[in-house]
Chains A and B, each alone.
Chain A
Amino acid sequence: MVGPDPEADPEAVFETFWESYDRYYAHFELKDLDWDAVYHEYRPRVDATTTDEELFEILAEMIALLQDGHVYLVGGERRALSNVELRARSSNFDRDVVRTHYVAEDDASRGDDRIIFGRIGENTGYIALGTLSGGEGVGENTRGWIAEMETAIERLSDAEAMILDLRNNGGGRAYNSKYVASFFATERRPFLITRSRSGPEHDDFSRPRTWYVEPMEGVRFDGPVVVLTNRRSFSAAEWLTLALRQYDHVVHMGTHSGGGLAMFLPRELPNGWMHTISVQDTRCIEGRSYERVGVAPHIYVDNGADEPGDAMLDQVLNYLEGQ
């Protein structure tokens, strides 16, 4: 009564895959990518005799052209990422080094390791968020592990400065970003403008929506703050970074963030494979998009390869000492 499923042959899978991006992907114009040309280049490589392995490789090549950290393809045990360069980039952050050599308090690890907080020395508060996933609710009604933020801010409220470490934070809920930012906000400010695909044309978008940070009632920290990012600070972690950058008492240090700020849509193909599509155009208040390039820090600091310790954190501490 609802019609037969589409054929799961290689050609039908290719057509559905190409059409899904054509209908929903938000960044063709931003990335100056001619998706019709991609069709004409790759379609001849698929016919009824194409094997699953060959088809997967072809589709993986197509999404690699998008260079999008929110785009991936899963087929059985196979997995292909669009932005291989981003994900393959070696991490320059070791949580254990921070925990062992920097953060002093015994109860420094809270929230199932998703949040670490404590003091570095006498006067510097340190909060590392490993993710922004999980939790539920909005604003002051936020619940779950992320609500440990309130405990962290309370415990560190007498610190002279604060480091919010978002290195290797792969993102999560946008509302968690707003929630965390609210502990550092001094007044209501806009930080992001989003639009979503709203029709079949590549420039069909919903009307712009402005996102605001609202100051948290009660517990807040308005002393000097450094937000620290690396290339693996991604998605909602970049939203949080942009939200914090709206305030004069916050300095952004580290390396560029990951460069993937869009909401994404999982889809499936007639043969059961799954893939994801970025459906949202996301820009800072000044109108810039950080897709692919990431948010550039105010002050660039990095760890050298195979360097012992945490040179980024050392440089942040030196910076705060000099303030």
Chain B
Amino acid sequence: MAALVASLCILIGGQAVGEETSPSTNWTVTAGGGVAEVASRDEAGSPLAYSGVGYPLILRVDAVGPRWAAGGQTGLFVFGLNGGRLSADLAREGEPSHRADSLFVDLSAWIDRQVLTGSAHRLWLGAQVGHWTFFRSYLYNPAQIGSVESWEAVITADVRAGVGGDYGRLSWELAASVPLLGWMMRPSYAVRGDERVEIVESHTTVLRRGRAVTVDRLQMVQGEASVALALGQRWGLRGEYRAGRLSYTNFVQTRAFVQRGTLGVSLRF
């Protein structure tokens, strides 16, 4: 599978690198914000689902050539800054606490090659390196001593596919990606055991204690739908809906779902 990803990268990357200096390359930077709904059911943290709302900030860079496209994007919210308070249904029913403060960040960089091009439509395939961190700090009860921290942090090698089209000043895209390989970082089995101590002493422990995963343990899919409207020669608006679902099992299972709608201002260079 790694060979497949590598071949795809070389195929698409080779084409792109060859065309990178082409004068027809268009660069676009988009910044904005929006609203995200997140949900988690992490057996390491609770048998209950926790969900809530965040207000992510986003940044996206696109480079588009004649038959290729590359780009990167990130979005994040951090509890205490822009939302991220999660709660279980019990909390909404009046039980005290059952809340979790959360942080979510996703980051991806991709390169695509158009494989079919019509007069106003295109279809592409690509490769992507993705990252997703979803951290939660649980407080189950006012009598609880200390919070319980759990997280999924994964770096993935993905395949991507998408379609898009142009209608005058309006363009649209639909894309989806799935990972073939990943490097998963999770708290230790005991969550509050010795590994947690090591993390206090050295944050890089989180990276070192990761493990390589394939689709038998990690099932993940991400998708996006976007519409961009050119309002001038060099600027426009971009609306995007983005969603992802992750399921990972290593003794205990964690499942997470994140969807967000954002609006950004785009500058073209």
> Are chains A and B native binding partners rather than an unrelated pairing?
yes
- Which of A2, A16, A280 meets B193, CB within 8 Å? A280
What are 22 contact pairs spanning A and B, CB under 8 A?
A2-B256, A3-B255, A5-B49, A5-B89, A23-B251, A138-B201, A175-B200, A196-B195, A197-B190, A198-B189, A206-B188, A206-B195, A263-B192, A265-B193, A266-B144, A266-B145, A267-B46, A267-B140, A268-B138, A272-B90, A279-B191, A280-B190
A27 vs B256: C-alpha distance when bound (angstroms) = 32
Q: Which residues of B contact A280 (CB under 8 A)?
A: 190, 193-194
Say whether A274 contacts B143, CB under 8 Å.
yes
Q: A269 at interface (Cβ–Cβ under 8 A)?
A: yes
Interface residues of B in 123-168 (CB under 8 A from A): 138, 140-141, 143-146, 148
Q: State which size class the interface on A falls in.
A: 35 or more
Return A192 CB to nearest CB of chain B, in Å: 11
Chain B residues whose CB sits within 8 angstroms of the CB of A176 once the complex forms: none
Q: Name the distance in Å between A134's Cβ and chain B's nearest Cβ.
A: 11
Question: What are the nearest 9 A-B pairs in CB distance?
Answer: A196-B193, A1-B257, A279-B190, A274-B141, A2-B41, A268-B140, A196-B190, A2-B255, A272-B90
Q: B residues 191-232 with Cβ under 8 Å of A? A: 191-198, 200-201
Tell me the bound Cα distance from A79 to B144 in angstroms.
12
- Asked whether B47 lies within 8 Å of A5 as measured between CB atoms, the reply is yes
Contact with A along B8-48 (1 / 0, CB 8 A): 00000000000000000000000000000001110000111
Most chain A CB neighbours (cut-off 10 Å) among B40, B88, B138, B197: B197
The answer, yes or no, to whether B245 is at the interface (CB within 8 Å) is yes
Check if B46 sits within 8 Å of A268, measured CB to CB. yes
Is B41 in contact with A3, judged by CB distance below 8 angstroms?
A: yes
Q: Are A199 and B189 in contact (CB under 8 A)?
A: yes
Query: Contact: A206 with B194, CB < 8 Å?
Result: yes
Interface centre among A2, A200, A209, A272 (most CB of B within 10 A): A2
Extra contacts, 12 of them, besides A209-B197, A272-B88 (Cβ < 8 A), are A5-B47, A26-B190, A196-B188, A209-B198, A263-B193, A266-B140, A267-B140, A268-B98, A268-B138, A271-B90, A272-B98, A280-B193
Residues of A within 8 A of B201 (CB): 138
Residue of B nearest to A26 (CB): B190
Given the complex of chains A and B, what is the CA–CA distance between A279 and B191 in angstroms? Answer: 9
Q: Is the CB of B194 within 8 A of A194?
A: yes
Within 8 A of B (CB), among A195-217: 195-200, 204, 206, 209
On whether the beta carbons of A200 and B141 are closer than 8 Å, the reply is no
A174–B193 alpha-carbon span in the complex (Å): 12
Q: In the complex, are the beta carbons of A272 and B95 less than 8 A apart?
A: yes
How many angstroms from the CA of A2 to the CA of B254 in the assembled complex? 9
Chain A residues with CB under 8 A of B194: 194-196, 206, 209, 263, 280
**A197-B193 contact, Cβ under 8 Å, with A1-B39, A175-B200, A272-B98:** yes
Bound CA–CA A299/B201 (angstroms): 35
Contact with B along A256-269 (1 / 0, CB 8 A): 00000001111111
Task: Tell whether A191 is near chain B: CB-to-CB under 8 Å.
Answer: no
Question: Given the complex of chains A and B, what is the CA–CA distance between A270 and B98 in angstroms?
Answer: 11
Which residues of chain B come closer than 8 Å to A199, judged between CB atoms? 189, 251
Asked if A265 meets B257 with Cβ closer than 8 Å, knowing A16-B47, A199-B251, the reply is no
Interchain nearest-CB distance for B114 vs A (Å): 32
State the CA gap A279–B194 with chains docked (Å): 9
Contact residue among B40, B98, B197 (Cβ-Cβ distance under 8 Å from A174): B197
In the complex, residue of chain B having the shortest beta-carbon distance to the beta carbon of A265? B192
Report yes or no: B197 in contact with A1, Cβ–Cβ below 8 A.
no
Q: Which residue of A lies closest to B245 (CB)?
A: A1
A64 in the interface (beta carbon within 8 A)? no
